[in-house]
Amino acid sequence: MRSYFPSVVSFANHKDSIQKPTDDLGDYGQQMANAVAVQEIDTNLYMSQELWLPIGARGAFGGQIVAQALRAAFHTVGKTFNVHSLHSYFILPGDVSMPVLYEVSLLRDGRSFATRFVRAKQRGKAIFVCTCSFTKDSDMLSVEHQSTMPKVPSPDSLKSAEELLEEALANNNLSAKYRDYLQKRLDEDRPVDYRDVNPEDIDGKDGWFGDAGRISRYARWCITRGKLGDDPQLHACVIAYISDSAFLLTAARATGVPRRGFGMMASLDHSIFFHKHMRADECPRSGDGRGVSFGRIYTKDGTLAVTTSQEGLIRLTKAEQEKLRTKDGDAKL
């Protein structure tokens, strides 16, 4: 069995002690719950218990920071409250060598709504901030409408990320450096099973391509590898974790520039609108140096449950910039 979350740093007893992951980390669902968990250390003050550094990333996984901030905010509202929207900004990369502190400010406590502001800090500086709004379920009748979930192949017909990596490694013409990178990606077992959909297999594919035939949309299935229990607040946090995946790659693809042409990509802000309760262990997912992407997360029966948006920094490498200058003269980058 491959080590689960090999790049995770675990923190305990309010200290900077690092616990190395073991070969047998138990149930995947519990590991996912641990990834978004925070520990209370004072009134309205919480601390991360785990941080994950993805291969090639500048800092801790942004989705994990979002999820932990939301988890901290959930601890300050009653169990009858559910999050309906979250708006956040990434300020600095998270350092996985030390825990993140989450300071929760109680902005409003009403009968039907509650509002929280969360500041994530390391070394006395804010690395991330977010505002969360919570509401109670209502029995009031209301009209409903939603965008239609695109028709895509079922997840069972698609290969997992691990299977694709194994196929890539079977290629004997890979450079030693790229083979090492792929092997590290394969060994980095993740808590979520992502299955990407080929744009050519999306129903109405003509609407999924932008200028000059560039891919402007992206679809993938996702589900946690283990069961999470029935706590709806936990599921909301895990959905927040998942929602930060593949966003900037979508914006990057729309430019037509190959992935190797980007020298830097980093999330700047992230928003989530929660429309319906959904389970993360039974659900799918669907200029100026910046890119904006919008995402919709549907349940498997096609119900729109979550809407997300994200702006990110997308900088070209110097070589790619020179190509554009050569092609377009003095093109403004």
pLDDT per residue over 181-193, tens digit each?
A: 899 888 876 778 8
- Give the pLDDT band of residue 305 (cuts 50, 70, 90): confident
> How buried is residue 162: exposed, middle or buried, by Cβ count under 10 Å (0-12/13-18/19+)?
middle
* Catalytic residue selected from 244, 281, 286, 293: 244
> Whose CA is closest to 8, among 72, 60, 43?
60
Judged by average pLDDT, the poorest of 160-164, 189-193, 236-240, 307-311 is 307-311
Give the residue-averaged pLDDT of 141-149.
Answer: 64
Tokens of 27: 């149930």
Q: How far apart are CA 85 and CA 305, in angstroms?
A: 12
What is the share, in percent, of the chain residues with pLDDT greater than 90? 33
Give the residue-averaged pLDDT of 58-73.
Answer: 95
In degrees, rounded to 5, the angle at the alpha carbon of residue 209 between the alpha carbons of residues 204 and 213 is 125
Confidence at residue 3, expressed as pLDDT on a 0 to 100 scale: 26
Pair 197, 219: CB distance under 8 Å: yes
Q: What is the greatest pairwise CA distance in the chain?
A: 64
In degrees, rounded to 5, the angle at the alpha carbon of residue 175 between the alpha carbons of residues 172 and 178 is 105
Tokens of 208: 């999924």
Highest mean pLDDT among 123-127, 134-138, 258-262, 322-326: 123-127
CB atoms within 10 A of CB 272: 26
Q: Are strands 262-274 and 81-90 parallel, antiparallel or unpaired?
A: antiparallel
Structural domains of the chain ordered from first start? 8-328 (2.40.160.210)
pTM of the model as a whole? 0.76
Give the residue-averaged pLDDT of 272-292.
Answer: 63
Give the residue-averaged pLDDT of 271-298.
Answer: 67
68-84 pLDDT, tens per residue? 999 999 999 989 999 98
Q: How far apart are CA 87 and CA 245, in angstroms?
A: 16
Give the residue-averaged pLDDT of 55-64.
Answer: 89
226-235 pLDDT, tens per residue? 888 888 999 9
Mean pLDDT of the chain: 78
Answer whether residue 265 shows pLDDT above 60: yes
Judged by average pLDDT, the poorest of 120-124, 223-227, 234-238 is 223-227
Answer whether residue 212 shows pLDDT above 90: no
pLDDT higher at 53 or 311? 53
CA 29 to chain CA centroid, nearest Å: 17
Q: How many residues does the chain have?
A: 333
* Catalytic residue selected from 267, 271, 286, 293: 267
Residue 310 appears among annotated catalytic residues: yes
> Whose CA is closest to 36, among 224, 187, 299, 189?
224
Answer whether residue 1 shows pLDDT above 70: no
Residue 10 appears among annotated catalytic residues: no
* Catalytic residue selected from 88, 122, 286, 310: 310
> Whose CA is closest to 146, among 332, 304, 328, 322?
304
- Give the pLDDT band of residue 10 (cuts 50, 70, 90): low
CB atoms within 10 A of CB 267: 22
| Single-letter amino acid code for the residue at 75 | H
